Amino acid sequence: MSFLSIKFFLLFIPVFYIYWNVNNRYKRLILLISSCLFYSFFSFNFLLHFLVVIAVNYLLIRFTQDKSYFLKLAIGFNLLNLFLFKYFYFFLEMIGYLTGIQALTHKSELNQYFSSITHIANFEVILPVTISYYTFQLISLSVDLHKKTVEGPISFYDIASYTLFFPVMIAGPITRYKDIVPAMESATLSKEDMFEGIWKILLGLTKKIALSDSIAAVIYPIFKEPENYSGYSILLTCYFFAIHLYLDILGLTDIARGLGRLLGFNLPENFKAPFFLTSFSDFWRRWHLSFSFWIRDYIYIPLGGSRVSETKGYLNLLITFVLGGLWHGASMNFIMWGFLTGVFLSVERFMEVKKINLIPESRVKPYLKFLFVFHVYMITWILFFTQSLLAAFTVIWRMLSFQAGIELKNIEMGIYILIFGMLFQIVEEFPEKFQWFEKWKRFVLPIFSLAIVLLILNNSGNKDFFYEKF
């Protein structure tokens, strides 16, 4: 079920009413039941699988938390679950390329083979919804228990309430146990919470349906055959894709934070004006913050972070972002994206340590640095919408050499949405400059609500979020 459907909101309204009209001790149960119902709309079988995964994690915590091998066992199980469903075909494909066994590189042949030995008709490994996100949540819970930053005892009910919390279930923000479960015991709702929650939801729907989906209609045709488009069209697509990705994830985050606010939770921000970046590292203090902080806290710092030798510190950055890239998808494109990001951050740190200054100090230096960093990151995102490394490098070459080809259509629409996207970033970067608008929100809200309802009813575009596939 999509956050963008009338069906979802027809489900949410009675949940909201019941939730705030029962005794506090039943509120969490209402949330858990509604979350299970929400997930079951995607697949009842995968809901059962999800509950089994939660049960195994509970048993590991219950019986092995005090053992020296607890953390390895808990992380190992959750990574194995993720590997079997997300990287099964990718792993066999890599073996096929390395050994020359062509059958391993063809998904259809593999499915036929496993059908024959398992006697399961139409065998196929399907990726469960949200598996990447709940794997991160379960690993963070195990690590926090091991480090004693989360106190036990932890029940099956606690873990299920945490991982099945439906506002963040689809694509984040990636939450921590200590920010969700304790708050379930003391949820409150003020008029301000209700107003801000509705406002956030409407804003998220606007960013997704009115803006992100509209620019998607401009750029998605090029995703099918990017190597046939002109270099100029590919460059424009990079700009448009950057703002599309930003609006898509931000729209989802706003909806999730709005739903959370209506249920008595203050969920974390996920963006802080990322296109106002000042360096490669500054970008990750602004973009997809819950993901950025997770890989910092649970991969980079445990590896030693920057508290090791200079060379090891660079290696830690590479490992962290290669794994972060692999989390995004089972593809060499995402691994390459993560590797390149790690390289950029390592080179930047190396230059800072060695005090290498390629651009003399001047008033224009920050602007030149911004243009360089932004375009480098933007070009690497070509790896997100091309089918292979070869296709990605071909597209990058066509763009940099301004090759002739098919021209992008409806450019004006893309430019308009690019401007709107930058306006949202200005508000994120300078919130104090827009305090005057707060008093007008209540007058705008009824008209805004009606407009969004009509938008949802007439929405026939892309109902999925780009990040859902991760």
Range of the domain at 344: 192-457
Give the residue from 189, 220, 249 where a domain finishes: 189
Asked whether the beta carbons of 182 and 162 are under 8 A apart, the reply is: no
pLDDT in tens, 38-85: 888 888 999 999 999 999 999 999 999 888 899 999 999 999 999 999
Q: Which pLDDT value is given to residue 114?
A: 83
- Does 114 reside within a domain? yes
| Per-residue pLDDT at 187 | 82
% of the chain with per-residue pLDDT over 70: 92
Q: Tell me whether residue 463 is in a domain.
A: no
Q: What's residue 194's pLDDT?
A: 87
Are 170 and 224 found together in one domain?
no
| The pLDDT of residue 199 | 84
Regions of the chain short of the pLDDT cut 70: 1-2, 171-172, 438, 440-443, 445-470
Whether residue 297 lies inside any domain: the answer is yes
What confidence score (pLDDT) does residue 463 get?
Answer: 53
Domain tally, the chain: 2
48 shares its domain with 95: yes
Question: Both 329 and 375 in a single domain?
Answer: yes
In terms of domains, do 150 and 277 share one?
no
pLDDT number for residue 1: 61
Out of 189, 212, 231, a domain closes at: 189
Residue 470 lies in a domain: no
Is there a domain that residue 1 lies in? no
In a shared domain, residues 222 and 150: no
| Maximal CA-CA distance, the chain | 70
Do residues 1 and 11 lie in contact, with contact meaning Cβ atoms separated by under 8 Å? yes
My answer on whether 279 and 290 are in the same domain is yes
Q: What pLDDT score was predicted for residue 343?
A: 96
Domain-terminating residue out of 128, 155, 189: 189
Average pLDDT, the chain: 87
Q: Is 74 exposed, middle or buried (0-12, 13-18, 19+ CB in 10 A)?
A: buried
Check whether residue 266 and residue 412 sit in a common domain. Answer: yes
**Confidence at residue 374, expressed as pLDDT on a 0 to 100 scale:** 93
Q: Domain for residue 417, yes or no? A: yes
pLDDT at site 465: 61
Bridge partners, residue 229, by sequence: 406
Query: What CA–CA distance (Å, rounded) separates 44 from 35?
Result: 12
Q: Answer yes or no: 49 catalytic.
A: no
Question: Could you tell me if 251 and 157 lie in one domain?
Answer: no
Does residue 380 sit in the same domain as residue 451? yes
* Whether residue 175 is found in the same domain as residue 196: no
Q: Which residue in the list 106, 119, 146, 328 is annotated as catalytic?
A: 328
Within-domain flag for 462 = no
- Tokens describing residue 280: 């490669």
Handedness of CA 129, 132, 133, 136 (dihedral sign): positive
pLDDT given at position 449: 66
